[in-house]
C-alpha cells in the first residue's frame, strides 16, 4: 500500500544515543536540555529571533490568540485544516471567512477589507501547502485598520519568502511538527516572534503561566518532552536532503501528469518552496472521485486535503458563502509525496491518474 505520506524516521542508533542521555540525566520534560538545544538549532536554521517549542500546531494557534488578546472577530481562511477554525472557536473568537484566491488557494486580500467591522481584531491566515500568502498586502491592510496578523504556517518549515523564513512574518507565526510534516518531532509545534516581551509571555503561557514560585499569568500545558525533542534533533539536520528528495518526486509528477484536464496551484513569486504537498485540481468532484477510486483500487491512498471548506463546517453558527474555496475543496486531491517514494511508483500513480482522466472523458 502507498499512503499519501510516510513519516521520515532517522537511524535508530542515532535516536537511541539521545535516549541514553535522557536515561542518564533522568530529566524527561519541563524545558529540558534537549528542548533548549532543539529550539536553538531551529532558530539558527530558520534565522528567527524567538521560537517556543510546544506540543503541537493547534495549541500554538490558541496561545497566539490569547497572547494578542483576541476575543472578537477574526478574518480567516476557509481553506485550511480544521485546526485553524477550531482554535478560533475554542478561544471564543468569531471566525469571519474571507474567500481564497483561485490561483494559489491562499486567502484573498481583496476579500478581507469588505469584511472588516469595528469588532475585527485580527487576520488569521494559512500559508496553504507551504506557499506564502500575499504577505505584503495582508500586512498593509492590518496596518491600515490596526489589526494583528497571525499566520498558521503549519506547512511551511524550510520554505522562505523573499529570502526570509515564512515563519518570520506576521505578529505571530505558528508551525506544526506533526509526524506527517516536512520536519517533525512525532507530535510538536512552535510559535515564533521577534518581540522579546512576547517571547517571555509565551514562555510562561507554555508552562502554566509560572516559573517556580513566580506566578505571572494564566497559562496552559504546552511543553514538549525530551523524547520528542530528541526526534527533532535527529530529523533537523536531514531537512535539506528531505526537501531535495521531495523536489525530485514533485518534478517527476509534474513531468508525467497530463495537465490538459487538471490544474495546480501557482507558487507566489519570491518563494523558495519546501515541496510539502502535491495537490491536483480536477474539473469536477465526480472526476476527483473517479481518480480517487482508481488509485484506491491499486492500494494508493490520496487525500482530500483540504476538504470540506471550513465555512461549511456543521457546528458553525451561520453559513458564510465562500464559492471559490467550496469549489476548490470539492475538487482538490493531494497525491502521495514523501522522501523514498520510488520513481516507479510515481510513474504508476501518474499513469493511473492520466488513465482515469481519459476514462472519465469517455462519452463526454
Residues at the site binding ligand PLP, with contacts judged by CB under 6 A: 56-58, 80-81, 83-84, 126, 152, 154-155, 176, 178, 189
Cβ distance to ligand PLP smaller for residue 100 or 346 = 100
| Nearest approach, Cβ of residue 246 and ligand PLP (Å) | 16
Report how far residue 210's alpha carbon sits from residue 220's, in angstroms, rounded to the nearest whole number: 10
Cβ distance to ligand PLP smaller for residue 142 or 190 = 190
Cβ distance to ligand PLP smaller for residue 177 or 253 = 177
Cβ distance to ligand PLP smaller for residue 155 or 228 = 155
| Nearest approach, Cβ of residue 54 and ligand PLP (Å) | 9
3-class secondary-structure state, position 95: strand
For residue 355, CA distances in Å to 261, 295, 343 come to 12, 11, 18
| Nearest approach, Cβ of residue 297 and ligand PLP (Å) | 27
| Nearest approach, Cβ of residue 84 and ligand PLP (Å) | 5
Grid coordinates representing 86 are 477550531
**How deeply is 240 buried, as exposed, middle or buried, from its count of CB atoms within 10 A (0-12, 13-18, 19+)?**
exposed
| Nearest approach, Cβ of residue 317 and ligand PLP (Å) | 22
| Nearest approach, Cβ of residue 176 and ligand PLP (Å) | 3
| Nearest approach, Cβ of residue 315 and ligand PLP (Å) | 18
| Nearest approach, Cβ of residue 129 and ligand PLP (Å) | 9
Cβ distance to ligand PLP smaller for residue 206 or 354 = 206
Cβ distance to ligand PLP smaller for residue 73 or 152 = 152
Report how far residue 75's alpha carbon sits from residue 56's, in angstroms, rounded to the nearest whole number: 23
Cβ distance to ligand PLP smaller for residue 57 or 339 = 57
Which residue in 350, 170, 165, 168 sits closest to 239, CA to CA? 165
Which residue in 345, 149, 323, 332 sits closest to 253, CA to CA? 345
Beta strand ranges found along the chain (DSSP E): 50-54, 73-76, 94-97, 120-126, 148-152, 160-161, 164-165, 172-176, 189-193, 210-211, 214-215, 262-263, 271-272, 278-282, 332-335
Number of H helices, E strands in the chain: 12, 15
Grid coordinates representing 231 are 526526534
Cβ distance to ligand PLP smaller for residue 153 or 324 = 153
Q: Which residue is nearest to ligand PLP (CB)?
A: 57
Contacts of residue 255, defined as CB under 8 A and 6 or more positions apart, other chains included, come to none
| Nearest approach, Cβ of residue 224 and ligand PLP (Å) | 11
For the residues of 302-317, what is the DSSP string, one character each?
-B-TT-S-GGG-TTSS
Cβ distance to ligand PLP smaller for residue 134 or 178 = 178
Which residue in 284, 281, 283, 304 sits closest to 292, CA to CA? 304
Cis (ω within 30 of 0) for the bond into 273? Answer: no
Amino acid at each position: 500500500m502507498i499512503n499519501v505520506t510516510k513519516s521520515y524516521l532517522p537511524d535508530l542508533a542515532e535516536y537511541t544515543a539521545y535516549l541514553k542521555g535522557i536515561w542518564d540525566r533522568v530529566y524527561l520534560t519541563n524545558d529540558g536540555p534537549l528542548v533548549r538545544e532543539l529550539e536553538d538549532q531551529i532558530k539558527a536554521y530558520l534565522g528567527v529571533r524567538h521560537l517556543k517549542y510546544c506540543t503541537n500546531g493547534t495549541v500554538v494557534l490558541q496561545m497566539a490568540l490569547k497572547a494578542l488578546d483576541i476575543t472578537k472577530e477574526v478574518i480567516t481562511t476557509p481553506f485550511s485544516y480544521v485546526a485553524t477554525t477550531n482554535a478560533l472557536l475554542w478561544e471564543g473568537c468569531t471566525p469571519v471567512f474571507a474567500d481564497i484566491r483561485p490561483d494559489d488557494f491562499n486567502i484573498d486580500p481583496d476579500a478581507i477589507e469588505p469584511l472588516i467591522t469595528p469588532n475585527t481584531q485580527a487576520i488569521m491566515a494559512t500559508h496553504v501547502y507551504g506557499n506564502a500568502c500575499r504577505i505584503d498586502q495582508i500586512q498593509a491592510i492590518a496596518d491600515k485598520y490596526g489589526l494583528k496578523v497571525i499566520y498558521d504556517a503549519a506547512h511551511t518549515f524550510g520554505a522562505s519568502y523573499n529570502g526570509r523564513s515564512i515563519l518570520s512574518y506576521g505578529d505571530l507565526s505558528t508551525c506544526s511538527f506533526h509526524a506527517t510534516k516536512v520536519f517533525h518531532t512525532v507530535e510538536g509545534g512552535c510559535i515564533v516572534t521577534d518581540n522579546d516581551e512576547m517571547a517571555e509571555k509565551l514562555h510562561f503561557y507554555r508552562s502554566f503561566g509560572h516559573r517556580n514560585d513566580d506566578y505571572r499569568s494564566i497559562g496552559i500545558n504546552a511543553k514538549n518532552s525530551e523524547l520528542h525533542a530528541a526526534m527533532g534533533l535527529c530529523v533537523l539536520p536531514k531537512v535539506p536532503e528531505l526537501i531535495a528528495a521531495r523536489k525530485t518526486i514533485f518534478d517527476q509528477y509534474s513531468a508525467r501528469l497530463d495537465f490538459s484536464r487538471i490544474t495546480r496551484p501557482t507558487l507566489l513569486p519570491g518563494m523558495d518552496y519546501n515541496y510539502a504537498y502535491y495537490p491536483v485540481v480536477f474539473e469536477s468532484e465526480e472526476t476527483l472521485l473517479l481518480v480517487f477510486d482508481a488509485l484506491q483500487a491499486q492500494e494508493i491512498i490520496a487525500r482530500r486535503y483540504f476538504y470540506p471548506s471550513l465555512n461549511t463546517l456543521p457546528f458553525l453558527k451561520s453559513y458564510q458563502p465562500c464559492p471559490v474555496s467550496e469549489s476548490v475543496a470539492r475538487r482538490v486531491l493531494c497525491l502521495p509525496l514523501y522522501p523514498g517514494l520510488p520513481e516507479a511508483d510515481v510513474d504508476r500513480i501518474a499513469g493511473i491518474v492520466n488513465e482515469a482522466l481519459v476514462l472519465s472523458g469517455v462519452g463526454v
